[in-house]
């Protein structure tokens, strides 16, 4: 599904050159739930940003379902992200002026779906994540855990091929974190491909595989049997 070859990312600030990713090779198969782990500064978030098209690598290739995504124009990358990828951010990243259902519906509106249909689908997804009745709440009227679940609803509403999650539990208490991880497990059970960055080992329990990064390189792939 995703094939990454010789991926490098180097940040340059004046004369200071900082290599963050140093020749990453990896494959992600359809339906896999993968965790990327590593110490702070290992390059795990940077790796996620490259393969999720939020950033452009310095070198290497990324192939998603046969498409070399590095050859896409900026407009094509935006379209690709809209139609085929979903994102869960560490700080939920909901638009504060939009209600829960509007936050979830906005990717559908961008695809040209009628407003009523989009809101209907958004409500359906919100119901499915046990947040019935929270449709018109604004982000500041929701707890951190609820905001993250709305963020997940927004990420999956257009049924993406791959779901990317950047430390989705980092800002949550343990109970909320557990709910979020359970939700991701449910999605995975339904066949959703998920790539998650985390530094908390206890939340990798449902993952199929854990990729360990150290100093910009993959040091190991741990295959697990999900429960």
Partner 1 sequence: MSFFKKQLDTLSKFWSVGYFLGLRQIVRGSIWINLLIISIMTLTFLSLVVIPGILVGLTEGSFEQNREYLTGDLYLTTLPDEETIVNSQDIVRVLDSLPEVENYSVRYKIGSTVEAGYINRDDFTEEAESLSVSAFVIDPEQEEATTGLSEFLIEGEMLSSDRSGEVLIGSTLLQKYSNFSDLFEPLVNVEVGRPVKITLQGEVEDDFQREQQLLDGNNDPGQTSEFIVAGIIDSKVGELSSSIFITEQDYRRIAQQRSLQAQEIVVKHNGRFTDEQFKDIALSYGFGRYAKVQTATEAIPKFLADVQQTFGFLGNIIGFVGIIVSSITVFIVIYINALTRRKFIGILKGIGISEGAIEFAYSIQSLFYAVFGIGLGLVILYGLLVPFFVQNPIDFPFSDGILVAELIPTLTRALILVVITMIAGFLPARIIVRQNTLDSILQR
d(CA 87, CA 52): 8
- Give the side-chain half-sphere CA count within 13 A for 135: 13
* 170 contributes a contact to partner 1 by CB under 8 A: no
Answer whether 71's CB lies under 8 Å from 99's CB.
Answer: no
- Residue 222: CB minimum distance to partner 1, A: 28
Min dist CB 180 to partner 1, Å, is 18
87 versus 206: smaller Cβ distance to partner 1: 87
Query: Is 166:48 a contact under the CB 8 Å cutoff?
Result: yes
Q: Which stretch binds partner 1 (CB under 8 A): 27-35, 89-97, 192-200, 217-225?
A: 89-97
The footprint of partner 1 on residues 10-49 (CB under 8 A) is 49
Residue 82 interacting with partner 1 (CB under 8 A): yes
Q: Is 43 left (phi over 0), alpha (psi -120 to 50) or beta?
A: left
Cβ 88 vs Cβ 165: under 8 Å: yes
Token pair 């124009």 is found at 73
Residue 83 touching partner 1 (CB under 8 A): yes
Strand stretches in 66-205, DSSP E: 67-68, 85-88, 162-166, 193-197
Q: Which residues pair with 26 in a beta bridge?
A: 4
- Decide: is 93 part of the binding site for partner 1 (CB under 8 A): yes
Q: Which residue stretch of 29-37, 87-95, 177-185, 202-210 sits at the interface with partner 1 (rule: CB under 8 A)?
A: 87-95
147 near 117, Cβ under 8 Å? Answer: no
C-beta separation of 146 from 178 below 8 A: no
Cβ-contact 208, 195 below 8 angstroms? no
Stretch that binds partner 1, among 77-85, 180-188, 189-197, 207-215 (CB under 8 A): 77-85
Among 44, 123, 134, 154, the residue binding partner 1 under the rule CB under 8 A is 154
The site for partner 1, by CB under 8 A, has a size of: 30
Our finding on whether 76 is near partner 1 (CB under 8 A) is no
Select from 58, 60, 89, 161 the one that contacts partner 1 (CB under 8 A): 89
Report DSSP state, residue 141: G
Closer Cβ to partner 1, 89 or 212, answer by number: 89
Per-position x/- string for 98-137, each x denoting binding to partner 1 as judged by CB under 8 A, each - no binding: x---x---xx-xxxx--x----------------------
Binding positions for partner 1, rule: CB under 8 A: 49, 54-55, 74-75, 78-83, 85, 87, 89, 93, 95-98, 102, 106-107, 109-112, 115, 138, 154-155
């Amino acid at each position: 599904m995703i094939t990454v070859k010789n991926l490098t990312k180097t940040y340059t600030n004046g004369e200071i050159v900082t290599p963050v990713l140093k020749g990453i090779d990896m494959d992600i198969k359809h339906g896999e739930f993968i965790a990327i782990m590593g110490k702070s500064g290992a390059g795990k978030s940077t790796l996620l940003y490259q393969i999720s098209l939020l950033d452009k690598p310095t070198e290497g290739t990324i192939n998603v379902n046969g498409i070399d995504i590095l050859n896409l124009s900026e407009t094509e990358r935006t379209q690709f992200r809209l139609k085929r990828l979903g994102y869960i951010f560490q700080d939920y990243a909901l638009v504060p002026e939009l209600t829960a259902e509007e936050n979830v519906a906005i990717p559908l509106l961008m695809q040209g779906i009628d407003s009523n249909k989009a809101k209907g689908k958004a409500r359906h997804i919100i119901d499915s994540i046990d947040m019935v009745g929270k449709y018109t709440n604004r982000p500041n009227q929701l707890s951190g855990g609820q905001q993250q679940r709305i963020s997940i609803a927004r990420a999956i509403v257009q049924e993406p091929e791959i779901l990317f999650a950047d430390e989705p539990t980092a800002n949550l208490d343990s109970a909320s974190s557990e709910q979020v991880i359970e939700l991701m497990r449910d999605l995975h059970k339904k066949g959703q491909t998920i790539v998650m960055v985390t530094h908390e080992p206890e939340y990798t329990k449902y993952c199929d595989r854990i990729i360990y990064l150290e100093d910009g390189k993959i040091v190991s792939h741990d295959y697990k049997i999900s429960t």
